[in-house]
Amino acid sequence: MTKLSVNINKIATLRNARGGNLPDLLNVAIDCERFGAEGITVHPRPDERHIHYQDVTELKPILTTEFNIEGYPSDAFIRLVTGVKPAQVTLVPDPPDALTSNAGWDTIKHRSFLKEVIGEFKRHGIRTAIFIETDQKMIGQAPVTGTDRVELYTEAYAKHYATDRDAAIQPYVDAAKLADQLGLGLNAGHDLNLENLHFFHRQIPGLLEVSIGHALICDALYYGLENTIQLYLRQLR
């Protein structure tokens, strides 16, 4: 069964727009779990423009589902994650000023770096995943880094879904099959929504987890948070 992990970055963005603590990020995270989410994802950035490092520390003891921390493995990020010890860390190769994640790792060019960083996380008992595109060469080298899982970057699928969903999904099917052959767990995320999620889930073998934030929070403005989480869960069943 594919788990739904709700990314709550946008809740933090809304809170930070006015200062104070409205909406209350911790309460929203608890409510997401109560409404059926099987995980909570955060992506703290160096400028803390949405998730604060303190948020990450405060979330850990109150969550009852899987906690996933995404981010570029800077020294500060590594210290944060190894201190908090979430269930999973997802490594993303985005620069500090990136608006959102926009590329997967080059597992050939950054093999040594990833191997060193992943080794550090695994010494702390943290499951690792690396954000990756569907390039067969990049997936093929992923096991060398020591990662437990790969998270497929699904922006290209979402972009082309409306015009030709079969063509859009095929590289992801091939990537999923290769990951399985290599013994890698499979996650996915980026621009998945109520329109394209069910087809993606139905076509991709061995999909363990999807992380969804922006679209889900946008839908919650219309449908309400509880109903929206249930709508997304239905796409995965």
Give catalytic residues, as residue numbers: 43, 70, 190
Structure-token pair, residue 97: 């000023």
Please list, residue by residue across 54-91, b when 16 or more beta carbons sit within 10 angstroms of its beta carbon and e when fewer do.
Answer: ebbeebbeebebbbbbbbbbeeebbebbbebebbbbbb
DSSP string covering 93-152, please?
---TT-SS------TTTTHHHHHHHHHHHHHTT-EEEEEE-S-HHHHHHHHHHT-SEEEE
